[in-house]
Each structure stands twice: as structure tokens, then as C-alpha cells.
């Protein structure tokens, strides 16, 4: 199930399912709103967007109420998550998945929003999107990530990133599968339990924030996924950005954890993650990895209509 594309004049709804919008974030959201308005869109902030009821975020029910209402609102054509943080997974049990199925819309965010986008896809079949958060439209030094969002959502363009970006082959091969993933810490939490996602025949894309996750923590997450059979099920891995003061790379940790045990293709690029260059990756859409090509991954089916 794919959502409708954006049109100029559409209303974009903004929700805050993770950390609270406080301090400088308030002005940053207003700045992002003005950028969208200048581009020809309307912007609607959710009822509880500035709530900080718990002192560390709004409550799970407040967050879920906002998300459900944005899907219910016929005027809202896209839902953009304001920022990341730590606990968007608290909303899972309060989301109205049937309502979401009946009102498919673009849902976009990254970092902690990985939990939300992957669970909503798993529970409803709706293609969701890993891309820049609403706040970072204003705080990024370039408009790369914003233009990638407009390219995907407004133009329905399937091109990943910009021409000439570097892709590195870690392990050769070709594979096709639906995309799943995002931030490694969050995706590894979805391996088991009540809110697990299906990794079978998927292409897994992963990135990590080096400031918060040192190499040992990254190794822990990958080992946990390996021990729970994730890498026995997937068809390929696409590695994004990871920058740590040790200069140890995510590719090195993946190699140490996986190489020799699996034959699927593994590639790396720096056009998604906690960096300026964030392309938009559709969770649930089909992609193809081919390490013989210069641009080693491509989308092979529409993700908006």
C-alpha cells in the first residue's frame, strides 16, 4: 500500500512522537514551517506538539492521539515527524492501525522515528519513509535532505541521492527485496517480542550515530540480530553513515560480525544517516542491489502514487 504524492497547496501535519519540542526547537520548527510555506505548502502542528507532560516528553497517549488524528484529518496529506530522541516506541499500543490502513499517507522521519515507521509498515502494509525530520529542514547547513524529500514526495522520483555519489562494495552480489531498516539501535529492538518486524527476503539498511553508540555497542546490536536469525533471512545490507572518534567504521564492525557466514551483497554509501546528506528511503518498497553498477542500489517500484 503506497500513499498519494504531495501536491503544491497540500497540508503537511507535524507531530512529535519522540523527544519534547523545547528551547531552540520551538524556533527551529517555526523556521522549518516558513520554508514549507515558501515552497507552496500549508503546515499544521499537532495538538500536543509542545507538550512535555512527563518532563522528558509528552505521554505515549498524547503522542498517539496526535498521530491518529493526523491520519484521520482529511486535509492532511503528509505526516512529518518533528525530531528524533529516545522513546517513540511508547506509542505502539495506542496507535489505531485500522485507521491508518484506511487513510494511507506519507509518514517521514529518521533516527528514533525508525521505530514508528517500521512498526506502522509492519502492522498496516503502508510504505513509510526514512528521511529528514521536520526540524532539520531548518537546521541543516544545506538543502540536500529537503530537496531529496521534495524529489520523492512531490515528483515521485525514484532516484536515490545525487548523481556521482560514492558507493563501496563490501561484499559482491545482486539481490532484490523490500527495504527495511533505519537506525541500527532502534531496528535491533524490533527483532523479537510483541512488536517485531519481518526481515524475511528484505534488504536491510542501517546507520548509527557515533556520538551515542560506540563500536562495542554497534557490535552488540549486530550480534543480537545475528543470534536471532535476522541475517539468515535477509537478502542484502546497505550501510549508511557512522562516524566515531575511534575512526572505526560501521563497515569494519559488520565485517567482523558477519563476513564468512553469509553470501548476500553488502554495500556502503554516505547518503543517509545522522549527516547532512539524507536521501529518502521507502520502507516496504522494493529495491535492487547490484555491485557491478556505479550506483549500487536502486528503487524498482513506485513508493508514492
Q: Is 105 exposed, middle or buried (0-12, 13-18, 19+ CB in 10 A)?
A: buried
Averaged over 67-72, what is the pLDDT? 98
pLDDT at 58 over 80: yes
Whether 183 and 113 share a structural domain: no
Whether 172 and 147 share a structural domain: no
What pLDDT sits at residue 39? 96
Whether 100 and 186 share a structural domain: no
Whether 136 and 173 share a structural domain: no
pLDDT at 167 over 80: yes
Whichever domain contains 93, its CATH number is: 3.40.50.10740
Averaged over 52-81, what is the pLDDT? 96
Whether 218 and 128 share a structural domain: no
- In 140-214, which residue ranges form alpha helices assigned H by DSSP? 144-153, 184-188
Q: pLDDT, tens digit, for every residue of 116-133? A: 999 999 999 999 999 999
Whether 136 and 174 share a structural domain: no
At which residue does the C-alpha cell 525508525 appear?
Answer: 114
Domain for residue 2, yes or no?
no
Whether 126 and 17 share a structural domain: yes
The percent of residues above 90 in pLDDT, for the chain, comes to 96
What pLDDT sits at residue 258? 85
Q: Residue 241 is part of which domain span?
A: 167-299
Whether 171 and 148 share a structural domain: no
What pLDDT sits at residue 212? 87
Q: How far apart are CA 303 and CA 128, in angstroms?
A: 9
Q: How many CB atoms lie within 10 A of CB 205?
A: 25
Averaged over 153-163, what is the pLDDT? 95
Q: How far apart are CA 115 and CA 92, in angstroms?
A: 9
- 3 state SS of 24: helix
Whether 140 and 191 share a structural domain: no
Whether 142 and 71 share a structural domain: yes
Whether 109 and 174 share a structural domain: no
What pLDDT sits at residue 77? 98
Residue where a domain stops, chosen among 153, 183, 216 = 153
Q: pLDDT, tens digit, for every residue of 226-271? A: 999 999 999 999 999 999 999 999 999 999 988 778 999 999 999 9
pTM of the model: 0.95
What pLDDT sits at residue 229? 95
Q: How far apart are CA 109 and CA 98, in angstroms?
A: 21
Q: How far apart are CA 280 and CA 28, in angstroms?
A: 21
Residue where a domain stops, chosen among 153, 177, 199 = 153
- 3 state SS of 225: helix
C-beta contacts of 253-260 below 8 A and 24+ residues apart: 253/215, 253/218, 253/219, 253/222, 254/170, 254/222, 255/170, 256/219, 257/219, 257/222, 257/223, 257/226, 258/222, 258/226, 258/231, 259/171
pLDDT at 211 over 90: no
- Measure CA of the first residue to CA of the last residue in the chain; give whole Å: 10
Radius of gyration of the chain (CA): 18
| Structural domains counted in the chain | 2
What pLDDT sits at residue 261? 83
At which residue does the C-alpha cell 510483541 appear?
Answer: 194
What pLDDT sits at residue 28? 97
Whether 146 and 184 share a structural domain: no
Q: How far apart are CA 213 and CA 157, in angstroms?
A: 33
Domain for residue 6, yes or no?
no
Q: Which residues pair with 91 in a beta bridge?
A: none
Query: How is residue 263 written as a grid cell?
Result: 553470501
Amino acid at each position: 500500500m503506497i500513499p498519494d504524492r504531495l501536491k503544491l497547496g497540500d497540508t503537511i501535519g507535524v507531530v512529535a512522537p519522540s523527544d519534547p519540542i523545547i528551547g531552540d526547537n520551538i524556533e527551529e520548527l517555526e523556521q522549518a514551517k516558513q520554508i514549507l510555506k515558501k515552497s507552496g505548502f500549508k503546515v499544521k502542528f499537532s495538538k500536543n506538539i509542545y507538550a512535555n507532560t512527563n518532563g522528558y516528553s509528552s505521554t505515549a497517549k498524547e503522542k498517539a492521539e496526535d498521530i491518529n488524528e493526523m491520519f484521520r484529518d482529511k486535509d492532511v496529506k503528509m505526516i512529518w515527524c518533528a525530531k528524533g530522541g529516545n522513546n517513540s516506541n511508547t506509542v505502539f499500543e495506542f496507535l489505531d492501525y485500522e485507521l491508518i490502513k484506511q487513510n494511507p499517507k506519507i509518514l517521514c522521519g529518521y533516527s528514533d522515528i525508525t521505530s514508528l515507521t517500521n512498526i506502522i509498515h509492519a502492522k498496516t502494509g503502508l510504505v513509510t519513509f526514512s528521511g529528514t525530520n521536520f526540524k532539520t529542514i531548518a537546521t541543516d547547513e544545506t538543502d540536500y535532505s529537503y530537496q531529496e524529500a521534495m524529489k520523492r514526495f512531490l515528483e515521485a522520483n525514484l532516484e536515490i541521492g545525487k548523481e556521482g555519489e560514492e558507493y563501496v562494495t563490501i561484499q559482491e552480489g545482486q539481490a532484490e527485496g523490500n527495504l527495511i531498516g533505519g537506525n541500527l539501535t532502534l531496528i535491533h529492538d524490533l527483532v523479537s517480542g510483541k512488536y517485531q518486524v519481518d526481515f524475511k527476503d528484505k534488504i536491510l539498511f542501517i546507520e548509527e550515530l557515533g556520538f551515542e553508540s560506540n563500536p562495542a555497542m554497534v557490535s552488540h546490536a549486530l550480534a543480537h540480530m545475528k543470534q536471532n536469525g535476522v541475517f539468515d533471512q535477509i537478502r542484502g545490507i546497505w550501510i549508511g553513515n557512522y562516524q566515531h572518534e575511534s575512526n572505526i567504521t560501521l563497515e569494519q564492525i559488520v565485517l567482523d560480525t558477519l563476513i564468512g557466514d553469509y553470501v548476500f551483497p553488502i554495500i556502503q554509501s554516505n547518503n543517509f544517516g545522522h549527516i547532512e546528506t539524507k536521501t529518502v528511503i521507502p520502507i516496504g518498497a522494493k529495491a535492487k542491489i547490484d555491485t557491478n553498477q556505479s550506483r549500487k542500489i536502486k528503487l524498482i517500484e513506485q513508493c508514492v502514487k
